[in-house]
Every structure is written in C-alpha cells, then in structure tokens.
Chains A and B, each alone.
Chain A
Amino acid sequence: MIGLHELLVVSAVLFVLGVAGFITRRNILIMFMSIELMLNAANLVFVAFARHLGRMDAQVFALFVMALAAAEAAVGLAIIVAVFRSRQTVNIDEMNILKW
C-alpha cells in the first residue's frame, strides 16, 4: 500500500507548482490551467485519505470538486473569450481596467 506521506508530498508539490504558475505567468489561459492543477492536488489528498481511512465519503467530495472545476472552466473560458473579443489580448497585465 502506498504510504500517506508520499501521497501528501506529491500533492503538496503539485499544489505549489500550481501556485508558482499562477503567480509567474501572465497568459490568462495558463493561469487558468494552474488553477486546475491546484484543484487536482486537493483531489489527490481527498482520495489518499479515503484510501487510508477506508471510507468513500472523501471520494464523493472529490467528485464534487471535479464538477466544480468543470463549471469554473466553462465560465472562466467564457469570460476569457468575452474579454478577448473586446481587447484582443490574453495578457492579464493589459486587462487592468474594469470597464472600457
């Protein structure tokens, strides 16, 4: 059986990579992918604890997180498309006003 420690370390590294991508990149699409990465790291913790507690409740919650990520991706990408239509850019440093 895979140890809980190794799983948590993998999840922490994935989460930190997501944070790093979110902070250092300025392409909004890649920032979005970083958010997906962070959600996946959280899911891995859910599944790891589900296995180590012998209960499936956490797997159900991981399922909810996946549904949430799908909804978030749909709305977020719609926003990106809408912004790109009016500004012709995906660089967040150029999206610095709320109304134009």
Chain B
Amino acid sequence: MKTCLIIDDSRMIRRIAGRIIKDLGFDTDEAATSQDALEKCQIEMPDVILVDWNMPVMDGYDFLKALRSQKNGDTPTVLFCTSERDVSRIMDALSAGADEYIMKPFDSDIIESKFHLAGLI
C-alpha cells in the first residue's frame, strides 16, 4: 500500500485529510511541523506528501526545497494544501517542485481529483 505523509500544524486538517486519503487506499502518517516531517522522510521516504504552506519555524515552501535536496527527495509526489491562493505563490510552489496544489477549504472530491491528476490513483 502506498504511503502519504500529511504535514499541517492543524490537527483538525491532518485528521480530515487523513480520513479522505485513507479512503483512497493510502496508508497515512502525520507531522505537525516541517522538521518532524523531514526526519520522518530521512527514515522512510513516503510515496506522497501533502504539505501546508504556513507553518511556524519552517514553512511548506522551505520544507519542499529541503526535501528535494535530500537523497531520494525527488521521489515523493508533493501536493501543497494551503489557504494561499495568489497565483505568484502557486507558481513558486510549482517551480520549487510541487506536483499539484490544493487550495483550502477542500472536500473529498477535490482531494480525489488532485490525486488523480497527480497520477496517484
């Protein structure tokens, strides 16, 4: 079973996204901070990462740059899941290596559609 790491400082978002992604047939893991997520990725690289933009200490954008410079860091499919909706932010995320971009609020149809677009299902 493919694995998905959900990185968000909101427990509620982690729980809701986790439930939807489990229903899509993925094993899920959670991280409340980017640092925690990077450590988890060093131990075992997930197949998919869903990452928020705005988080304390290290934001999602810096996390993605750090991830992509890690060994095997180019393998996970990364989807941003954020309330940032500016086109410039979306372009930044894509140029940093994001595969898709989800704007909050989201529902199960959106997550399913984005996973489909990213070739995950």
The reply to whether chain A is a binding partner of chain B is: no
